[in-house]
Amino acid sequence: MKKSLLENIHTPKDLHLLSQKDLPQLAKELREFIINIVATKEGHLGASLGVVELTIALHYVFNTLVDQLIWDVGHQAYGHKILTGRKAVFHTNRQLGGISGFPNRAESAYDTFGVGHASTSISAALGMAIASRLQGDLKKQHIAVIGDASIAGGMAFEGLNHAGVSKANLLVILNDNAIGIDPSVGALKMYLTNVKKGTQKQDNIFEALNFDYSGPIDGHDIDAVISELERLKTVEGPKFLHIITTKGKGLRQAEKDQVKYHAPGKFDAKTGDLAVKSTEIQAPKYQDVFGHTIVELAQNNPKIVGITPAMPTGSSLKYMMEALPDRAFDVGIAEQHAVTLAAGMATQGLIPFCNIYSTFLQRAYDQIIHDVALQNLPVIFCLDRAGLVGEDGATHHGVYDLSYLRCIPNLIIFAPRNEMELRNIMYTAQLGLDHPIAIRYPRGRGKIIDWKQPFSKIEIGEALQLKQGENIAILSIGNMAYNVSEAIENLNVSHYDMRFVKPLDEKILHDICKGYTTIITIEDNGINGGFGSAILEFMALHNYKNTIKVLGIPDVFIEHGKVTELQKAIHLDPDSLRILIEGIVC
């Protein structure tokens, strides 16, 4: 049996002791290591398998403690983590108290820039390269590794545009596997396909942008990659290396079904077979309630269109893309464009449902204000993955939307308590609102198996009372209502699902302020500026002096872990809520 090479690699220094001819064997072992751990601990798989050779080559050629290596998004950086001191803890990846699923400056000196959202690497690497130049360091290398879907994001173009006129010592490596989470889209994808076929009719666009372009080369040919990196190390100014790889490389099933194996959940490390799903009937995922409901609505309303920035599978807009392909648009990693595209469509009388993960909508803040709300265009924003998302952690929790949206005039903000409420607000919104609306709902499954009930209209700004009690009124928003219901099962307190953060149900709020001594608000948004703040502002405006406690996400970044674990850690789980409320009742 061949002795393990990976066993003796703890940092890139150990890697430098290997002979280049050993590196394909190391690549094989690194792949197996990733597969074995992700098979049971879960996480992103395909992207890391695709860059195993590139990862080894980069750490072999460069001094990555000094040279600055940035992974765009960072979901492909598992090999990098394993080779840079985290092999022994890699089994804790994405778990509570374990290492992060993305590069993180607090975790390792080899993680030069925190990532998670796409298309940032070129700007960050350019910033570092300019800093090195200004500080007289002309030797340091600055490398951005970016995927074919991420390079189509607006920020990446902005970075390329600037870099091309700088003399900065920047190397952009395009890892082109022709897929994002879902197949890549757009004219740039077509251009890259033509480059690979050698049939491009136009000038090379990266050369046109003033980059020293090389490629495309086979990114799994480790010798070819090393030799090109060695050459580029000696070239000054902005350089661009185009490599071709296969997402999921080395695991047959992952190569075959690249969408599924982007983040496949548990699977058999030997066969690649996905873990067998329980046959028990389950409540639907919120994303599927959105995906099926928009098809149902759009089939009856020809004005409805759907938009997703690169998340057709994650948002389930894929159902509409299959059923009504002319009216459902995957625009690539382009949240800003998605929002303004929706605004343009709305000016022409279409009814756009613009579905964006809460965390990624942060990218398009000005577009929401300037292009949608200021013109009061009735765009329907569906914010999936609102609240804590779990193992993706701090970069991905959707815990700011209520705060960043609430201050925008004209915007209606609704958080469904359950699947039926999501369905009914979608139905209500497409009937015609005079304003844009943001509907925010969580990652994962709801609780209602029989969710496909006939539609009913929701009155805008109307809250619901869920339980009648005395002295204390608990006001929840969204599906936090479930934690509250469980917590107060045996307590004599009132519970209201406020539903709308904007406009607030002022009538019910006046009754609450007059009828209860104590008010508790609960949300899975940051406590600064969110739903609780809205209630505080209402009370201040009307001079109510009730005791009020605002519960929500504290003013710190929340790490990764299961949602239930994270809720427990910040005392938003049913048990902690019960103890807190009991303390107030007594």
Ligand X SMILES: CC(=O)[C@@H](O)[C@H](O)COP(=O)(O)O
Name the amino acid, one letter, at 535. Answer: I
* Least spacing, CB of residue 501 vs Mg ion, in Å: 36
Q: Answer yes or no: 507 catalytic.
A: no
At residue 119, φ and ψ (nearest 5 deg) are: 75, 15
Only one residue has tokens 């005079």, namely: 434
Rule CB under 6 A: say whether 101 interacts with ligand TPP: no
Is residue 148 marked as binding? Answer: yes
For 175, phi then psi, to 5°, come to -90, 95
Among 94, 117, 406, 495, binds ligand TPP (CB under 6 A): 117
Stretch that binds ligand X, among 186-194, 268-276, 385-393, 406-414 (CB under 6 A): 385-393
Asked whether 154 and 331 are in contact (CB, 8 A), the reply is no
Ligand-binding site membership of 223 (annotated)? no
Asked whether residue 177 is marked as a ligand-binding residue, the answer is yes
Q: How far apart, in whole angstroms, are the C-alpha atoms of residue 216 and residue 67?
A: 24
| Interface characters, 120-159, with Mg ion (x: CB under 5 A) | ---------------------------xxx----------
Is residue 249 involved in binding ligand X (CB under 6 A)? no
**Out of 73, 328, 411, 527, which residue is the one contacting ligand TPP (CB under 6 A)?**
73
Q: Is 287 in the site for ligand TPP (CB under 6 A)?
A: no
**Site for Mg ion, residues 158 to 177, rule: CB under 5 A:** 177
The listed partner (Mg ion, ligand X, ligand TPP, none) that binds 379, CB under 5 to 8 Å by sort, is none
In whole angstroms, give the CA distance from residue 32 to residue 49.
9
**397 forms part of the interface with ligand X (CB under 6 A):** no
Stretch 165-224 residues interacting with ligand X (CB under 6 A): 181
Q: Environment class of residue 329 by beta-carbon count within 10 Å: exposed (0-12), middle (13-18) or buried (19+)?
A: buried
Q: How many residues bind ligand TPP (CB under 6 A)?
A: 21
User: Minimum Å distance from CB 151 to Mg ion?
Assistant: 9
Range in contact with ligand TPP (rule: CB under 6 A) among 121-129, 148-156, 157-165, 445-453: 148-156
Separation of first and last alpha carbons in the chain: 69
CA distance linking residue 309 with residue 293, whole number of Å? 19
> DSSP labels for 485-543?
HHHTTTS--EEEE--EEES--HHHHHHHHHH-SEEEEEEEEESSSSHHHHHHHHHHHTT
228 is catalytic: no
Exposure string over 192-230, b if 16+ CB within 10 A, otherwise e: beebeeeeeeeeebbeebbbebbbbeebbbbebbbebbe
Instruction: Report whether 335 belongs to an annotated binding site.
Output: yes
User: Which residues, in sequence order, are CB contacts of 17 under 8 Å at separation 6+?
Assistant: none
Output 53 or 148, the one with its CB closest to Mg ion: 148
DSSP bridge partners of 173:
145, 241
**Candidate list 81, 87, 363, 578, residue with the active-site label:** 363
Could you say which residues in the range 160-199 bind ligand TPP, by CB under 6 A?
Answer: 175, 177, 179-181
Measure the CA angle with vertex 412, ends 408 and 418; round to 5°: 130
Alpha helices in 42-168, H assignment, sequence order: 46-50, 52-61, 78-81, 121-134, 154-163
Among 6, 34, 38, 73, binds ligand X (CB under 6 A): 73
Decide which of ligand X, Mg ion, ligand TPP, none touches 150; Cβ closer than 5 to 8 Å per partner kind. ligand TPP
* Footprint (CB under 5 A) of Mg ion, residues 171-230: 177, 179
* 117 is known to lie in a ligand binding site: yes
Query: 358: which 2 tokens?
Result: 């809460």
Cβ atoms 145, 71 nearer than 8 A:
yes
Q: Is the dihedral of CA 565, 567, 569, 575 positive or negative?
A: negative
Q: Which of 104, 141, 150, 428 binds ligand TPP (CB under 6 A)?
A: 150
SS3 175: strand
38, 95 Cβ separation under 8 angstroms: no
Nearer to Mg ion, 52 or 550 (CB): 52
Q: Partners of 147 in the beta sheet? A: 175
Does 438 bind ligand TPP (CB under 6 A)? Our answer is: no
Task: Report the residue number, 24 or 265, with the smaller CB distance to ligand X.
Answer: 265
Query: One-letter amino acid identity for 198?
Result: G
Whole-number minimum distance, CB 208 to ligand X, in Å?
A: 30
566 binding ligand TPP? (CB under 6 A): no
Instruction: Using CB under 6 A, pick the residue from 87, 247, 417, 443 that binds ligand X.
Output: 443
> Is 486 marked within a binding site?
no
Q: Is 247 a catalytic residue?
A: yes
Task: By CB under 6 A, name the binding residues for ligand TPP.
Answer: 47, 73, 75-76, 117-118, 147-150, 175, 177, 179-181, 247, 310, 333, 335, 360, 363
Q: Which residues are annotated as a binding site?
A: 75, 116-118, 148-150, 177, 335
Q: Give the residue numbers annotated as catalytic, written as ranges.
A: 247, 335, 363
List the binding residues for thiamine diphosphate.
75, 116-118, 149-150, 177, 335
What is the contact surface with ligand X in residues (CB under 6 A)? 44, 73, 75, 181, 263, 314, 385, 389, 392, 443
